[in-house]
Structure 1
Amino acid sequence: MSTTESRGKIGLGIVLFLALVLGGGAGPGLFTDSLLQAAIVVAVAFVLAGPRQVAASPIVLSFLILTFLAGLLQVLPLPAWMIEGTRPEVFNPHGDGSAYRLVSLGVGRTLEAMAFALCGLLFALAVSTLRGEHVRGLLPFFFIGVACNMLAGAMQFSMAQDTRLESWLPYVIMAGLFANVNHFSTLLFATIPLLVYYGLFVGRGVLVSLAIPAILLVLLAAGSRAGVLIGLAITVLSLLFLAWRSRIGTVTIGALFAGLGVYSFGATTKFVGELDTAFGRLEFMRSTLEGIRENWLWGIGYGNFTSGYGLYERGEMIFRNYVNHVHNDYLEVAFEGGILAMALMGFYGLCVLARLRHRLDPLQRAAFLSILFILLHSSVDYPLRTMAIAITFALLNGIYFHRLPLFKPLSRDEAIEVQHNGDTILVPIAEPAGSSRRRSRAQADA
């Protein structure tokens, strides 16, 4: 383990932690997001500029390049004939007969949105270049950030009626360190598979057995319908997906399912009758689909949803409070980016499914579950518009699309501790004859 690689891991871990505690806002133009983006670029540059033994994931690199090109196309002047007739004339920024027009309705907002997305992709790219032990070394930073959010959330929910907190952060804290309760819940349920992995394969069972019930209780107290239901589902699937091949006994699994049953009863009791009855998200989706139909080729520019949505809004839906998101990230991105954005989303989905055909490490299987449920939650909300969730999603993708299996770390019985370059590492003691050949064959099969 070289000192440079170790420092690179620590740098990524620090910015990951900072994103979790400072990146809970979902609004545009937050100075905290700008500071975090600068820190991410510095940390990623340190990792990519140093010596690497693992090549970057080609999938992450391809997606980074394609995303950059898709955003660049929206802010470059294009011949007017390419845009005329492809969307309502009211969206044409230059109606004075100019020979060139821009796709984006607001270049500044598009550049801001692209910087946000590219920072996440750069973080995922840097994670994909780390060796297995360094990737696992990022998990403690992640868990500490989640614990800070849980502690803040528990303190808020123990207060009286009003849990809103105002601080030096550029947004009002509603749950944990987030401005949105549902996004706070997204972070918690995305943590569950990683905790299950940590308990089963890293030997932290006691800690995890306390952490998961605490997460479920905080989710219940947070009042997020989506978070509660998905948190319950992801716990069950994590156990089935990861613990099925471990040594957990039937009695333990039965007790866990019994506890989940009690928890689900509490969730159902708390949220019965709270569903939207009118003027809800289905109407937002209908209006956005109408916008996609008229702007399917070019879109209106990333980050410009509020500028284009009003044209398709029904008169009776116009109130003092305006719609700033459609509460469906897929529709919103398609509205903003047009057919190229739809193609990018389809390409990502195919890459996720194709990766399942390869042999996955337990940590990669856990990352897949977290990715799956963040994507599911994105169909009813916009969690990826929050820096904390975006960097979490980037971490998960860096793990999932890592080119090498992230093997289980050596146990204390299989290795001894050795000091090397100021680091404590585990060195194998010995291995039975023929095991090295079998391991090489397993790596070749992967």
Structure 2
Amino acid sequence: MSHNLRLAAAPVYLLLCLLLGGASAAGIWANLLLQLVGLALIAWSLSAQRRTPIDTPARQLIALVVLMLLVVVVQLVPMPPSLWTELGGRERIAAGYRLLGEPLPWLPISLSAGSTLAAGLWLIPAVAMLLLVAKLGAFRLTWLAWTIIAVAVVSAAVGALQVADASWYFYQVTNYGAGVGFFANANHQATLLVSTIPFLSALYLASRGKGGFSKRTSGLLVILIGVLMILLVGLALNGSLAGFGIAIPVIAASIVMLWLGKRKLPGWAAGLMLLATAAALAIPLSTPLGNNLTTTEAKSSQFSRYTTFLVTAKAAQEHLPFGSGLGTFIEIYRTYEDPARVEQTYINRAHSDYLELFLETGLLSVPLLLLFLIWWSWRLSLAWRSDEPDHFARAASIATAAILIHSIVDYPIRTAAISALFAMCCAIMANPRPRSRRGEQSPPEKQARHLSA
């Protein structure tokens, strides 16, 4: 297979994920296509011969993914009644069999094996994207960055059309009146727009580093400023409170990238960034902004995050130690709702990836999550404190931080679009520099000719 085709695989698949994977439950056929293509790319990435050894951080990241997939497998293994009846949340199931006079069968950890298998299949786009970058190792950072930027700009433009005309919405169940772009949920559109911002800084710094401040660099700067204005307008039309709150530290970090250039981040600057992030995140949670987590109205609404967080936490506690099974949230949550307040509208997500994951996997995923956060913190520190920093690794660290923070109060990674973006950014942090045809980094003048083309 030609070298250029190898280089195009990652940006093309990322493009498909961002365009077609904007819903966590809807868009079944589009997501099926992404999964089928993803399976083919996973097989290719695993079988293709890489021209250079895989770096240790990339190996560690791939190992974490393997352990994550192993959790799915473990939840599907049948167990004898003497074991599964001792797990939390199984009392009613055992009582049902006894009431029917049926012997207790062998059952897996998951209370819905079909839902868990389906949830496992939703991981395919992220795994494929990660392997294309981290395992195959053939990619151009600028191609990936421009792919994200192009989709974000078009998605913002589509969002403007949606606000003006409801016929532009792609999903039946969506946030009508908000600019959601290629997504079903306004918050996930905000995640994409915010995550794109640091890559604008990375592209400018990469261009300036190759040829100094030239007419071409100044022209690129004008284009990138225009893109930033479009993204900010898209955020305004989107209306996501979380998007507004996360955008402030992301923009600040992107400006710090420009200020630093190739220098390492001073310790005092890192402290200021953390304080600014904490202050910015407190803004959406303030009562005057009318969020549905901390206000008085939120405490009385069955559809607020305040209620879903409490109910999900209670259900998770009762299903310890191994959870109810991936993909079982809807079935479990409805058994904990107040019957007197049940309506036709139902809760399909906990609106917190961490709480929902804790309910579905219990203690199985806790050490994996901690190991990932340790790995991510280590790579983030190296990206900002290295003597020879990589601009795209820094941009990827900002984007992943935005997604991880947003996941506290929403579920962006449950979409194929954001999960693929997140996986790509993690792979860049693990293996930030592109490889040339012979496995060595391209000289500056060759990179400049590629940029010129």
TM-score bin, normalised by smaller chain: 0.7 to 0.9
- 1:310-349 equivalences under 5 Å are 310-315=334-339, 317-349=341-373
How far apart in 2 are the matches of 1:32 and 1:48? 24
Unaligned runs of 5+ in 1: 249-263, 418-423, 427-446
Counting only pairs closer than 5 Å after superposition, residues 236-275 of structure 1 correspond to structure 2 as: 236-240=252-256, 242-246=257-261, 273-275=289-291
Matches within 5 A, 1:9-48: 9-27=7-25, 30-48=28-46
What per-residue deviation string (whole Å, max 9, x for no partner) do you get for residues 417-443 of structure 1?
4xxxxxx699xxxxxxxxxxxxxxxxx
Residue number in structure 1 paired with 2:160: 154
Q: Which amino acid is 1:90 matched to?
A: R
Instruction: Identify unmatched segments of 5+ residues in structure 2.
Output: 208-216, 264-279
Q: Distance in 1 between matches of 2:248 and 2:451?
A: 37
Map residues 100-115 of structure 1 onto 2, 5 A cutoff.
100-115=106-121
SS at match of 1:52: coil
SS where residue 289 of structure 1 aligns?
A: helix
Pairing partner for 2:422 from 370, 373, 393: 393
Q: Secondary structure at the match of 1:139?
A: helix
Q: Give the letter for the 2:380 counterpart.
A: L
* Aligned length, in residue pairs: 393
> For 1:110 and 1:210, how far apart are their aligned partners in 2?
44
Cα distance 1:5–1:299, how it changes in 2: closer, same or farther (>3 A)? Answer: farther
CA distance in 2, matches of 1:331, 1:363: 31
Give identity over the alignment, percent: 25
User: Using a 3 Å threshold, how does the CA distance of structure 1 residues 32 and 19 change in structure 2: closer, same or farther?
Assistant: same
Q: 2:42 touches 2:127 (CA, 8 Å); kept in 1?
A: no
**Separation in structure 1 between the aligned mates of residue 157 and residue 119 of structure 2, nearest angstrom:** 31
Amino acid at match of 1:382: Y
Counterpart among 195, 198, 202 of residue 203 in structure 2: 198
Q: Root-mean-square deviation (CA), in Å?
A: 3.0
**Which is worse superposed, 403-412 or 19-28?**
403-412
Distance 1:20 1:405, change over 3 A: closer
**Alignment check: 8 A CA contact 1:197 1:362 kept:** yes
Preserved CA contact (<8 Å) 1:70 1:341: yes
Do the aligned partners of residues 29 and 215 (structure 1) sit closer, same or farther apart at CA in structure 2, a change above 3 Å counting? closer
Checking the alignment, whether the CA contact within 8 Å between 1:76 and 1:102 is kept in structure 2 is yes
Q: How does 1:215-234 map to 2 (within 5 A)?
A: 215-234=231-250
What secondary structure, in the 3-state scheme, does the structure 2 residue paired with 1:339 have? coil
- Taking the aligned partners of 1:41 and 1:217, their CA distance within structure 2 comes to 37
Give the match for residue 187 of structure 2.
182
Q: Label 1:214 to 1:148 Cα distance change in 2 as closer, same or farther (>3 A).
A: closer
Match of 1:253 in 2: none
With structure 2 as the length reference, what TM-score do the two structures score? 0.78
Distance 1:183 1:164, change over 3 A: farther
1:33-432 correspondence runs (5 A) = 33-56=31-54, 57-88=58-89, 89-91=91-93, 95=97, 96-98=102-104, 100-131=106-137, 134-157=140-163, 159=164, 163=166, 165=168, 175-202=180-207, 203=217, 204-240=220-256, 242-246=257-261, 273-276=289-292, 277-278=297-298, 279=301, 280-315=304-339, 317-358=341-382, 359=386, 360-402=389-431, 417=449
Work out the CA distance in 1 between the residues paired with 2:123 and 2:243: 24
Q: CA deviation at 1:376?
A: 0.4
